[in-house]
Structures are given as structure tokens and as C-alpha cells.
């Protein structure tokens, strides 16, 4: 019998018979892994549990703590949840998979749900997991798929599939239910052991499961009321525009024109930012510092500068400060647990200098503020700043909401704004668009065109960025006075024209190739939108260029 050598990511080599199936290898080594293996790559190609391995090579295994494994787990769990919910509540029930919320996914349901029904759904899900029901994949023509979804009255699927450029589409079947799912699924339901359900009265159900950064644990649900209310407020923007999914966006672009969609989206967003400026102006006697923070590629710089313009129209004299200018000298940058410079940490900032200068400014003194030179890795002190009457500081940066940065400023003198692209647009009711994917696409475009970074380097560094956000940004969102949404309903169509060539440039042998393909699968469902009608003050200009503030 001929043998092959399998090399694992940790360098361990094992000998197996030629033609061994992936599931047999997993059975052999699973005792060495804390969590179930959800997905695998052999020679950088995704393979299934029943695939036979005929050659020696490197095998990568992904569990729920990895980005790839976690995304597959989420898709499979949502499919399982929807199937069981329809069994309990009736097949006419409408379910919309909305957005992440406290280490779970908020699932909107169009009818009143009781705690007893939630428990029934959970028990049914557990039974399917124990039965190890398979997720079966099949390929059919796009027309056949559209006709099927018309028959079962899934207009959201019909609209999505009507605009795809593919002649054939991949469907899945689970427990007799067919669905169109973007991305790969687990081999069977037995891998979906860890989850819980939380009822949100009058709203829906939060489907909770371990996220990448929870070390395989399902965390207890905490209701972030301000965040939930903001998500609901911004979801109404989609209803106002009559654009709730990609099919409706494509339809609107064709029937109403991209220019109208762009202008409506910008006006909605500007109206909200103006109302925030008005609230700040009303409290001008007390408020002296506006703190603006959000995760990477949220549009912090443009939002801060636009807010400054609006405050000027209300009689205030704002001054914009970026926390990036308060970095420690590069040689003093703290190291992370792996011995690498930890640029995401709050410890990278010269907190003592920042507090000292803010205290002096609020007393009416002049200070010489720094500008950070990213080439030399040092601060340069060239600008003098003094707050006039009606003066107010706008400080933006990743850590702006962390009170350690402004501990010498009274809370009554501070106004906190948390910003993020809170996407209210789905692919369809079952397939959501990740908030982090929107930011990743924005960052990729900006990194390539303004910083000279390759698409692969942006993709490979993204998990480090996300890890820093989990630790240093998201814990402070509840402290904000207001949450501002920087997502624009048309932006995927615009980003498509910039980012598609970049994603196609990622070669098959690149470790980030499958992430690039996953993003391309989403982008191919949206029509391209030209950028000429985008205002120079738009947040999107921060990423695609042509901003008034450049």
C-alpha cells in the first residue's frame, strides 16, 4: 500500500495511506485539538470531510477560534436556526438575519415569540446536532434557482439571483430545506454544538455562539440598549430608501439612477451629523471636548472634520486633534505578547502629554501641539494652539473614548461619539453583509492607493487589527453619548469598481486567496456605481480619494 506524508501547521509530520479521507485524518488527530475541526485546506485548497488526499502536502485545520472556521460555523448555525424556527413557528414565518450584537447575531422575526417557543427552537436545534444531519451541496442553473425561490415566495432571493453574473449557482440542502448561502458550510450539524438563544421581547432572537476572540465560549448576553436602539434607528434608513438588500439596491440604481441614491444617502447621514452638532452647541457652556472614536476604517477623520464645519456654522470655534499625533516615539513603542510592536494598544500613546496639554488648553493657555512624523517615528512640535471664546476641541482616534486618555478632564466637559459603518443592507434575508467586511474593503482601497500596501498585506494584517479593536475599542461603545453610522447604502457598488481588481490580484497560492474569493462572491452580486456623483465631503472620499479635506 502506497503512503503519503501529511505536514500539519505546527510542523508535525504523519504518514497515512494514499487516498485517506480528511475525516479519517481528523479522527486520528482530534485528541490534540480542544475544539472540533470545522474546515481544512490542503496545499491551500479548501477540501471537504469526504475528500480523499492522494499526495503528500501541508494540511491546515480550522476550528471555531480561527477566522475561517468561525465564519463557516456562523453560516451553518444560522441555517440550522432558521430551519428549526420555521418548524416551530410555521413555514410562513419571515426571518431576517440582521447584525452582530454582543457576541451573537440578531435575528428579526415578523411575529411575537414566547420564551416557550424559543426553548422549543433550541431543543429542536440540539436534536439536529445530535443527529449529525448533513449540509448537502448541489449546483443548479441560475434560472432554475430563481424559479424555485419564486415558487416559495422568497422575493429577496429572486432579486439577489437576478443580478448575479453566474449562469450556475450553488445551493445547499439541510433537513429537506433548500437555501442559497454565500460561502462554505460545515459538513454536518454535529459540529454546531456551542450556541444559545436569547429572546428580545417584541423584536426577535439573538443567536449566540463563540466568536473568534471568546476562546470557544458562548458569552452571557448583555443588552447594550443604546447600540440596539441605534441599529434599529439606522435600519429605518433602509426602509426610507426602500433599499434593504442588494437586489433592491441594484433595482434602485437601474430605475432611479445612481445619482439619486447617492444624494439621498448622503443627505440622511448629514442630517444626523448636523443634529449631533446642534446637541453639542446647545451645551456649549459645559462641553469643551468632543471625543470621537470607532474601529479601523470607520471614517473618523472625515467625520471629525465635517463635524467641525457644522459646529462653525453654529457659532463655535472647533479645533481638530488626531490621537495619531500623540504616538510615543517609535523606539518607545510597547511590545505585544509575541514581541512585536503593539500599535493598536492605548500604551502606544503619550497619555501624559495629551492630558497635560488638554488641561492647559481648557484653562486658556497656549500649547505647542505635536505632529507625528511617520517616516522618522518622532513627534515634531511646530503648531501653537489656544482655545478662543466658544472654542472646543474635537479629538479623534482609536482610543478616544477611553477615559484614561482624558482622566484630567471632568466628565461634564466631555461629549463622546462612537462611529462605525453599521450596515443595514443584507445580501438577502439569510445572508448578511459583515460590518467588518465593509471596513476591510474600505481599508484595502485606501491602503493600496494611498499607502502602497498590497491587497494581501491588508488581508493578512486584518486579524491583528480586529484583535486590537476587541480589546481597545468595542468595550467603550456603551460610554458614548451618541452612536453615528458612517455606512452609505450605495458604497458597495462604488467600492466594487476599486477593489475587484485588487482582489483578483491575490494569487491562488496566497494564504489570503480564499478570503479574497469570498469577498468577490459578494461583490459580484452588486452593480458597479461610478464615483463622480459622490460629494467631496463624503466619508467615502476618505478611502477612494478626492476628499475636500485632503
What are the Cα distances from residue 377, in Å, to 329, 331, 333?
Answer: 6, 8, 10
Three-state SS sequence of 432-468: ECCHHHHHHHHHHHHHHHHHCCCHHHHHHHHHHHHHH
Q: How far does Cα 73 stand from its chain's mean position?
A: 16
pLDDT above 70 covers a percentage of the chain that reads 100
- Residue indicated by cell numbers 480550522: 62
Q: What mean pLDDT do residues 448-465 have?
A: 90
Specify the pLDDT at position 94: 94
Each residue of 241-292: pLDDT tens digit? 999 999 999 999 999 999 999 999 999 999 999 999 999 999 988 899 999 9
Specify the pLDDT at position 220: 86
Each residue of 318-328: pLDDT tens digit? 999 999 999 99
- Residue indicated by cell numbers 441605534: 230
C-alpha angle with apex 333: 327 to 335, nearest 5 degrees? 140
Whole-angstrom distance, CA of residue 33 vs CA of residue 42: 18
Query: By the 8 A CB rule, do 432 and 182 touch?
Result: no
Each residue of 86-130: pLDDT tens digit? 999 999 999 999 888 877 899 999 999 999 999 999 999 999 999
Q: What mean pLDDT do residues 426-442 have?
A: 94
Q: How far does Cα 162 stand from its chain's mean position?
A: 26
| Mean pLDDT over each residue of the chain, to the nearest integer | 92
Specify the pLDDT at position 427: 95
Question: What's the pTM value of the predicted model, to 2 decimals?
Answer: 0.90
Whole-angstrom distance, CA of residue 13 vs CA of residue 400: 47
Paired strand residues for 392: 318
User: How many other β-carbons are positioned within 10 Å of the β-carbon of residue 364?
Assistant: 11
Strands in 89-179 per DSSP E: 95-100, 104-109, 136-141, 168-174, 177-179
Specify the pLDDT at position 10: 85
Each residue of 308-319: pLDDT tens digit? 999 999 999 999
Residues 6+ apart with CB under 8 A from 443: 296, 297, 458, 462, 465, 543
Domains and their CATH numbers in the chain: 3-63 (3.10.20.30), 68-224 (3.30.980.10), 227-544 (3.40.50.300)
Q: Is the dihedral of CA 377, 467, 320, 271 positive or negative?
A: positive
Query: By the 8 A CB rule, do 377 and 329 touch?
Result: yes
Side-chain half-sphere exposure of 231, counting CA atoms within 13 A: 19
Q: Is the pLDDT of residue 335 over 90?
A: no
Whole-angstrom distance, CA of residue 148 vs CA of residue 157: 10
Specify the pLDDT at position 536: 97
**Segment among 216-225, 411-420, 487-496 with least mean pLDDT:** 216-225
Which DSSP helix (H) or strand (E) runs through 381? strand 378-385
Which DSSP helix (H) or strand (E) runs through 128? helix 115-131
Specify the pLDDT at position 353: 93
Whole-angstrom distance, CA of residue 324 vs CA of residue 335: 18
pLDDT above 90 covers a percentage of the chain that reads 71
Each residue of 474-511: pLDDT tens digit? 888 888 999 999 999 999 999 999 999 999 999 999 98
Whole-angstrom distance, CA of residue 4 vs CA of residue 543: 48
Please report which confidence band the pLDDT of residue 430 belongs to, taking 50, 70 and 90 as the band edges. Answer: very high
Whole-angstrom distance, CA of residue 84 vs CA of residue 470: 31
Q: Is the pLDDT of residue 225 over 80?
A: no
Please report which confidence band the pLDDT of residue 222 belongs to, taking 50, 70 and 90 as the band edges. Answer: confident
Start-to-end CA span in the chain (Å)? 66
Specify the pLDDT at position 105: 93
For 349, the grid coordinates are 500613546
Amino acid at each position: 500500500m502506497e503512503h503519503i506524508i501529511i505536514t500539519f501547521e505546527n510542523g508535525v509530520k504523519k504518514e497515512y495511506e494514499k487516498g485517506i479521507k480528511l475525516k479519517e485524518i481528523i479522527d486520528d488527530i482530534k485528541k490534540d485539538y480542544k475544539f472540533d475541526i470545522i474546515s481544512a485546506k490542503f496545499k491551500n485548497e479548501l477540501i471537504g470531510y469526504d475528500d480523499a488526499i492522494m499526495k503528500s502536502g501541508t494540511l491546515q485545520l480550522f476550528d471555531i477560534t480561527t477566522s475561517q472556521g468561525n465564519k463557516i460555523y456562523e453560516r451553518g448555525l444560522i441555517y440550522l436556526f432558521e430551519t428549526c424556527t420555521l418548524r416551530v413557528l410555521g413555514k410562513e414565518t419571515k426571518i431576517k438575519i440582521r447584525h452582530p450584537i454582543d457576541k451573537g447575531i440578531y435575528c428579526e422575526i415578523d411575529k411575537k415569540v414566547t420564551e416557550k417557543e424559543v426553548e422549543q427552537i433550541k431543543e429542536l436545534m440540539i436534536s439536529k446536532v445530535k443527529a449529525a444531519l448533513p449540509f448537502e451541496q448541489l449546483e443548479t442553473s441560475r434560472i432554475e434557482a430563481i424559479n424555485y425561490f419564486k415558487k416559495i415566495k422568497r422575493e429577496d432571493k429572486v432579486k439577489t439571483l437576478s443580478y448575479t453574473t453566474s449562469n450556475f449557482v450553488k445551493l445547499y440542502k439541510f433537513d429537506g430545506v433548500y437555501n442559497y448561502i454565500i460561502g462554505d458550510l460545515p459538513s454536518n450539524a454535529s459540529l454546531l454544538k456551542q450556541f444559545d438563544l436569547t429572546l428580545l421581547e417584541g423584536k426577535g432572537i439573538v443567536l449566540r455562539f463563540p466568536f473568534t476572540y471568546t476562546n470557544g465560549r458562548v458569552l452571557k448576553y448583555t443588552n447594550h440598549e443604546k447600540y440596539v436602539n441605534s441599529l434599529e434607528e439606522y435600519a429605518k434608513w433602509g426602509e426610507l430608501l426602500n433599499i434593504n438588500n442588494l437586489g433592491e439596491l441594484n433595482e434602485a440604481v437601474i430605475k432611479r439612477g445612481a445619482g439619486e441614491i447617492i444624494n439621498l444617502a448622503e443627505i440622511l447621514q448629514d442630517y444626523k451629523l448636523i443634529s449631533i452638532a446642534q446637541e453639542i452647541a446647545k451645551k456649549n457652556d459645559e462641553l469643551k471636548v468632543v471625543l470621537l472614536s470607532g474601529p479601523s476604517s470607520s471614517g473618523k477623520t472625515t467625520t471629525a472634520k465635517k463635524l467641525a464645519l457644522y459646529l462653525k456654522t453654529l457659532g463655535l470655534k472647533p479645533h481638530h486633534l488626531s490621537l495619531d499625533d500623540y504616538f510615543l516615539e517609535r523606539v518607545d513603542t510597547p511590545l505585544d505578547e509575541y514581541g512585536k510592536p503593539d500599535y493598536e494598544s492605548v500604551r502606544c500613546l503619550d497619555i501624559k502629554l495629551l492630558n497635560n496639554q488638554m488641561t492647559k488648553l481648557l484653562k486658556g493657555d497656549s500649547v505647542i501641539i505635536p505632529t507625528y512624523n511617520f517616516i522618522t517615528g518622532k513627534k515634531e512640535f511646530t503648531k501653537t494652539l489656544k482655545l478662543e471664546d466658544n472654542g472646543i476641541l474635537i479629538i479623534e482616534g482609536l482610543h478616544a473614548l477611553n477615559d484614561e486618555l482624558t482622566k484630567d478632564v471632568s466628565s461634564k466637559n466631555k461629549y463622546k461619539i462612537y462611529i462605525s459603518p453599521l450596515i443595514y443592507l443584507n445580501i438577502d434575508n439569510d445572508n448578511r453583509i459583515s460590518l467588518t467586511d465593509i471596513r476591510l474593503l474600505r481599508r484595502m482601497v485606501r491602503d493600496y492607493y494611498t499607502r502602497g500596501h498590497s491587497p494581501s498585506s491588508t488581508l493578512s494584517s486584518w486579524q491583528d487589527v480586529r484583535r486590537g479593536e476587541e480589546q481597545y475599542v468595542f468595550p467603550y461603545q456603551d460610554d458614548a453619548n451618541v452612536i453615528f453610522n458612517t455606512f452609505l447604502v450605495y458604497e458597495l457598488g462604488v467600492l466594487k469598481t476599486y477593489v475587484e481588481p485588487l482582489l483578483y490580484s491575490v494569487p491562488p497560492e496566497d494564504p489570503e486567496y480564499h478570503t479574497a474569493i469570498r469577498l468577490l462572491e459578494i461583490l459580484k452580486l452588486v452593480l458597479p456605481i461610478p464615483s463622480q456623483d459622490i460629494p467631496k465631503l463624503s466619508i467615502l472620499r476618505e478611502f477612494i480619494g478626492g476628499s475636500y479635506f485632503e
